[in-house]
Structure 1
Amino acid sequence: MRALEGGGPSRGRHLGRVFVVLAALALVGAVGSAFLFSGPQAVRGLGRPLLGVAASRPSPAPGSISSPQASASPVPRTSSQDTLAAAQAIVAPASPPLRLVIPAIGVNAQVEALGLDAQGRMATPSRSDRVGWYSPGTTPGDVGNAVIDGHLDWTDGPAVFWRLGRLKRGDELVVVRADGSQARFAVQSSATTPYDASTDSLFTRSGPPAVTLITCAGAWDRQRGTYLQRLVIRAALITPAPARAPTDSAG
């Protein structure tokens, strides 16, 4: 007992240093294992720190990633660098939208970032020639469904989405983003719903990247001061290939 007591302080400090080193090594190993083997959910849990890295990474070579669905498929684990690249592809945020272009119906409109109105509903654009993007939700091109609305008509006549009902399955629309890239979508479905039907299912942050376009439809109800239906167009992402934004002086 005396021998242990006599060497106590020096031996205790030595053991303490050994314990700290071993604990640090164990922590590094645990973090590395979790990053390599826990998959997308764990990577998303890292949150903002990965976003800056992902935003500055070089663009993938043409044909290397055909779509977000392909990037979400299992990737052979060849190295930690490959794992990091796959993680960055999952968490990289899309750039905010600036314009919506729908060639089939002649739309080339500026995008307004919108939130909720005084009634707690998605707000509408301030001008008849603009569309509104629900900015607290998904960004076009990101995982989940981005919602964009536009007026059917205005006090002076037809508005930006006057011809939205003419879109057919397969028609394309392009979202031009702030970084100069473009996200291309193809129309998948069209539906008409009551004006007061729930739209909660549209504001999702999971599933394949998609865009939903909404405008008024049906008869005008003077008493309620609204159209009685809503036209809902659903479009799925084709490719997020980068491209320069077209020059346009309108709006």
Structure 2
Amino acid sequence: MTLDTTPVTSALVVVPTYDERESVERAVTRVLAADARTEVLVVDDGSPDGTADLVAALAADEPRLHLMRRSGKGGLGSAYRAGFAWALERGHDAVVEMDADLSHPADRLPALLDALGDADLSIGSRWVKGGATEGWPLSRRLLSRGGNLYVRLMLGLGVGDATAGFRAFRRSALETIDPASLASEGYAFQIESTYVARRLGLRLAEVPITFTERAQGTSKMSGRIVLEALLRVTGWAVGIGRPPASRRRAVLARSGSAPAVGPLARVAAVLAALLLVGGVALAAQAATHPEPASLAPLPARTGAPSPTASAPDASASGGAGGADAAQGAPARDAGSNDASIPVPAAGSDTPAAQQPVAIRIPAIGVESRLIDLGIAKDGTMQVPTDPALAGWLTGAPAPGERGPAVIAGHVDTHEGPAVFYRLRELEPGDAIEVERRDGTTLTFTVRRLESFAKDDFPTDRVYGPAPGPVLRLITCSGDIDPVSGHYVDNTVVFAS
């Protein structure tokens, strides 16, 4: 087989959609900005929410954006087969699979396409060195890791993330694979295309990415999708129902030997299957026992450092916090706080008329009443008990006063997104509006977003003195600690 090493000069990014109106515009914008070699084809399966109409309006002013309307929900595999055929007809050098929910990092597109210099298929991988997931509970990690381990052992693919949905194919690779011959739907489609590519002797590469849990809408993952993947992989491993392409040309890997499932591999595969079952069980338990995800035990300060400062009782927070502070609750993982961490001075001298009562962030659709958050007896900042509401830390300056005002909120619960679920989508230049009790509105501009490990939170940078009025928005992020059940990082939005 002749190796194709020509540089990729044009690539079509195929984005299947079904009810993705909330995120598709931003997803498309990020892709087109990330790499000048790319065009985008949105394959919409008759979304009731008007996704296709929005894309059509955008495409009228953007020649690199295209839309394929389909009459009904045909499934992920069907959408990709249609998109691949469209791309091959138009002569693109490469074709990329990508979700519309902002979970795939568009800024890794150049790396994914450049990897095709030495590969026929490059996979954006969560499970290689440098890869990661953000916002996933233990159940999702078990499902993904267990599933990939099972696939790797049963099919001998030598790939860490065969289920990944962010990947790039050379044109020649797609022509060799023949996408029309791939029968799977759901996430089994990703496994099947990887398996066929491996058996046809194509070169595979993995590019590390950070996968972020979907920012809008609802996940399309279901028990049926997991079962389809499990049954197909098992069948392929024992020679039942192998994809036509892999039977047509059993070239196998360039090593020249077929994957064999020996006794030890079978035992390991059973263990991997148990991981899958455990992940499904945990996900089901989380769905029936919702619990708000706690915010980080956030240290805060408003003046000079005071290593020996003692935390005031939340009920003595003063200002607007006196009557309403009970609406907040101490963070449950507060034990990681150190007593020497500075905390805000007790109380706020802000006149009642200038105290904040609501926050709006148009770019991410946030509109919330603000409750008052004080400092608990253990020195931690209280967090809202209602995940739909954000809260103002009354021991810090009020928005508009000199220094950093602090507004915090949950990112999610087991039931779904919370008030600051989309906070990580904010970009420099986005506006944050804070309404005060007197009816006036202050507008802050986002300057940057940063994420910090909770056990290494930069108190001075976040809460240190400022020459004028600034705003900090804080929520949880990163992975979830399997022991405590809490997120390990914080995302901080810096605005002024």
For Structure 1 versus Structure 2, the TM-score category normalised by the shorter chain is 0.5 to 0.7
- The answer to whether the aligner puts 1:218 opposite 2:478 as a matched pair is yes
Whether 1:176 aligns to 2:435 is yes
Q: Secondary structure at the match of 1:124?
A: strand
1:198 and 1:218 mapped to 2: Cα distance? Answer: 14
- Supply the distance in 1 between the matched residues of 2:453 and 2:350 (Cα, whole angstroms): 36
**Which residue is 2:167 aligned to?**
none
Letter in 2 for 1:142: E
1:208 aligns with 2:468: yes
- Listed as ranges, the matches of 1:1-251 within 5 Å are 95-201=354-460, 202-204=462-464, 206-236=466-496
Take 2:433 and 2:357, find their aligned partners in 1: how far apart are those partners? 11
Contact 2:350 2:398 in 1 (8 A): no
The answer to whether the Cα contact below 8 Å between 1:217 and 1:230 also exists between their aligned partners in 2 is: yes
CA RMSD of aligned residues (A): 1.9
Is contact 2:397–2:405 with CA below 8 Å preserved after alignment? yes
State how far apart, in whole Å, the 2-side matches of 1:224 and 1:156 are.
Answer: 18
Aligned residue in 1 for 2:306: none
Question: How far, CA to CA, are the matches of 2:467 and 2:385 in structure 1?
Answer: 30
After superposition, give the CA deviation of every residue in 1:122-176 in whole Å (9 maximum; x if it has no partner): 1111201110111011000111010111000023211000000000000001000
* Percentage of identical aligned residues: 36
Equivalent-residue separation in structure 1 for 2:454 and 2:350 (angstroms): 35
Cα distance in 2 for residues equivalent to 1:192 and 1:95: 30
Distance 1:207 1:138 in 2: 13
Taking structure 2 as the reference length, the TM-score comes to 0.28
Q: Secondary structure at the match of 2:495?
A: strand
CA distance in 1, matches of 2:492, 2:376: 20
Change (3 A) 1:213 1:159: same
Change (3 A) 1:131 1:199: farther
CA contact (8 A) 1:138 1:204 kept: no
Name the one with the larger strand percent. 1
Q: CA deviation at 1:92?
A: 8.5
Letter of the 2:383 counterpart: T
Cα offset, 1:199, TM superposition: 4.7
Alignment-derived partner of residue 109 in structure 2: none
AA at the equivalent of 1:146: A
Shift of 1:207: 1.7
Give the secondary-structure state (helix, strand or coil) at the position aligned to 1:196. helix
Displacement after TM superposition at 1:119 (Å): 3.0
Maintained 8 Å contact 1:141/1:209: yes
Question: How far apart, CA to CA, are the structure 1 residues paired with 2:371 and 2:350?
Answer: 22
Larger relative contact order (C-alpha < 8 A, sep ≥ 6)? 1
Deviation at 1:203, TM superposition (A): 3.0
Deviation, structure 1 residue 208: 1.4
Question: In the TM superposition, what is the alpha-carbon distance from 1:222 to its structure 2 partner?
Answer: 2.3
Residue 40 of structure 1 aligns with which residue?
A: none
1:119, 1:136 → 2: CA distance? 15
1:43-86 per-residue CA deviation (whole Å, 9 max, x = no partner) reads xxxxxxxxxxxxxxxxxxxxxxxxxxxxxxxxxxxxxxxxxxxx
Are 1:143 and 1:207, in contact at CA under 8 Å, matched by a contact in 2? yes
Question: In the superposition, relative to structure 1, how do residues 160 and 95 fare at CA in structure 2: closer, same or farther (>3 Å)?
Answer: same
Structure 2: 5+ residue stretches without partners: 1-348
User: What TM-score do you get using the length of structure 1 for normalisation?
Assistant: 0.55
- In structure 2, what is the Cα distance between the partners aligned to 1:140 and 1:225? 32
Give per-residue Cα distances to partners, 1:185-229, cap 9 Å, x unaligned. Answer: 000011010012235323345421110000000001121231011
SS in 1 for 2:383: coil
Aligned residues: 146
- Letter of the 2:366 partner, please give it: V
SS in 1 for 2:424: helix
Amino acid at match of 2:401: D
Would the alpha carbon gap of residues 229 and 92 (structure 1) be closer, same or farther in structure 2, given more than 3 Å must change?
A: closer
Q: 1:190 to 1:181 in 2, by over 3 A?
A: same
